[in-house]
Amino acid sequence: MIPVIGAGLAGSEAAWQLAERGEQVELVEQKPARRSPAHTSDAFCELVCSNSLKSDDVYGNACGLLKEEMRRLGSLTMEAADRTRVPAGGALAVDRDKFSEYVTQKLRQHPNIHIVCREQTALPEAGIVATGPLTEGALYASIEARFGGGLHFYDATAPVVTAESVDYAATFTADRYGRGTGDYVNCPMTKEEYEAFVTELLAAEKVTLKDFEKREIFEGCMPVEVMASRGRDALRFGTFKPVGLADESGRRPYAVLQLRRENAEGSLLGLVGCQTNLKFGEQKRVFSLIPALKNAEFVRYGVMHRNTFLDAPRVLNADFSVKDAPMLFFAGQITGVEGYVESAMSGMLAGIHYWRKLHGKPPIVPSEACVMGALSRYVAAENKHFQPMNANYGILRGLDVSDKKEKKRLMAERALGEIDLVRAALAK
């Protein structure tokens, strides 16, 4: 029986891929007996930060392209996301509870998956370790001892408010550049309101971080107060940018905070891009300065949490196996991929590669023409300053095309052609 440690996005996907190929899988998960500080549900595949899996644009966004690559190879994550999606313009956002419930049910009902509730305290000799960015305790110590240390950084989650507590008279509904079906509630601010918000945001009391924590915040999930500290207009060119948005009269606001559905019913709304490390009381005080949120009811506050990842170029091969232990694999954010979809992708490939190696077949690592291959190779490529990586066009093999939109379209077509070749090769 093949052990898969952890039933998050990566572990769930890895277990599914192995089970679908006829292998008996022991899926080890510490919930519900024990939860990490960031988890609140007993279900598998819990989405801790946002409920968005980012863009669903296959031909214009690298993460959208990655989703389609995964769909073509039979991803359980993408099946669950497509079944539980909520309106979010051009993004693929899901009802987080229904998403987790869908994956949990599929895994529990699979005859080849045997779920064991226990805390893993040591690295197995063989199997797939997908314990995520919050790996801690005895297992963390075991990993640290095995590989001579680990790396870590901190990221943050955003607050969520009840939809009924929003003052809709101070909002307008629109998607940026009109792409979508009006899925975002926009909370505009005048220059004076924005300046007052930034002033209080910068002055607000934060949870105390140690020095090394301050240095290692991941750029892709930066707390809103850290972004604001880089300049008073930083938010207007980032999280609060008004570009591509206009109210009913056609006017573009000075700054805009967007709210996005957190569940299918639309009863909960997340503050888009507002990851924060402010103390809970300060979060309510500062965000309530935005006119549309003056009476907002906060049902979840933002928190900071540790993300742990390996020095993957030193430790892992491009098939996610350990360099000196061919039947020990890692998957998920602990490998140095960053993001929900990227994490699930690594679990998917780890499961496929494990099965092939188990049966004496060589690994089929996709090329850098596609996102799956580029990320797989990124984590294994020599890099003295290794940091987590999202899906992006910069890591794909380039094309000599000057028109950016056309270049992305051609790169997507090339990537999907590569994935179709991989799918055919895996079927042999």
List 161's β-bridge partners, or say none: 269, 298
Instruction: Take residue 217 and report the two structure tokens written for it.
Output: 């915040």
Whole-angstrom distance, CA of residue 252 vs CA of residue 214: 35
Looking at the fold, whether 147 and 6 belong to one and the same domain comes out as yes
List 428's β-bridge partners, or say none: none
Please report, as a single letter, which amino acid is at residue 363: P
Report phi then psi at 14, rounded to 5.
-65, -45
Looking at the fold, whether 270 and 409 belong to one and the same domain comes out as no
Looking at the fold, whether 22 and 137 belong to one and the same domain comes out as yes
Count Cβ atoms within 10 A of the Cβ of residue 407 and give its class: 0-12 exposed, 13-18 middle, 19 or more buried: middle
Q: State residue 146's pLDDT score.
A: 92
Positive or negative, the CA dihedral 320, 321, 322, 328 is positive
Looking at the fold, whether 257 and 317 belong to one and the same domain comes out as no
Looking at the fold, whether 132 and 207 belong to one and the same domain comes out as no
Whole-angstrom distance, CA of residue 185 vs CA of residue 166: 10
**End residue of a domain, out of 283, 302, 321:** 302
Contact 69, 417 (CB under 8 A): no
CB within 8 Å of 228: residues ≥ 6 apart: 198, 201, 202, 234, 235
Q: How many CA atoms within 13 Å lie on the side-chain side of 221?
A: 26
Looking at the fold, whether 136 and 275 belong to one and the same domain comes out as no
Per the structure, the count of domains in the chain is 2
Contact 275, 302 (CB under 8 A): yes
H-only helix segments in 45-174? 62-72, 76-83, 96-109, 137-147
Question: The domain containing residue 410 runs over which residues?
Answer: 2-154+307-426
Looking at the fold, whether 103 and 224 belong to one and the same domain comes out as no
Helix (H) / strand (E) element for 117: namely: strand 113-117
Looking at the fold, whether 409 and 382 belong to one and the same domain comes out as yes
Looking at the fold, whether 187 and 280 belong to one and the same domain comes out as yes
**End residue of a domain, out of 282, 302, 322:** 302
**End residue of a domain, out of 302, 321, 353:** 302
Question: Angle at which helices 62-72 and 404-426 pack, to 10 degrees?
Answer: 20
Looking at the fold, whether 284 and 382 belong to one and the same domain comes out as no
Q: State residue 294's pLDDT score.
A: 97
The candidate with the shortest Cα–Cα distance to 151, out of 427, 419, 379, 417, is 379
Looking at the fold, whether 57 and 165 belong to one and the same domain comes out as no
The CATH number linked to 352 is 3.50.50.60
The CATH number linked to 266 is 2.40.30.260
Contacts for 60-64: CB closer than 8 Å, 24+ residues apart: 60/405, 60/408, 60/409, 60/412, 61/408, 62/371, 62/390, 62/391, 62/392, 62/393, 62/396, 63/339, 63/341, 63/342, 63/371, 63/390, 63/391, 64/92
Whole-angstrom distance, CA of residue 351 vs CA of residue 320: 9
Looking at the fold, whether 321 and 380 belong to one and the same domain comes out as yes
Q: State residue 412's pLDDT score.
A: 97
Bin 6: left if φ > 0, else alpha if -120 < ψ < 50, else beta. Answer: left
pLDDT tens track, the chain, 428 positions: 999 999 999 999 999 999 999 999 999 998 775 666 555 677 898 887 778 899 999 999 999 999 999 999 999 999 999 999 999 888 999 998 999 999 999 999 999 999 999 999 999 999 999 998 888 889 999 999 999 876 777 667 789 899 999 999 999 998 888 777 788 999 999 999 999 999 999 999 998 765 544 545 666 678 999 999 999 999 999 999 999 998 888 899 999 999 998 877 788 899 999 999 999 999 999 999 999 999 999 988 887 767 788 999 999 999 999 999 999 999 999 999 988 999 999 999 999 999 999 999 999 999 999 999 999 999 999 887 787 888 988 899 888 898 988 999 999 999 999 999 999 999 98
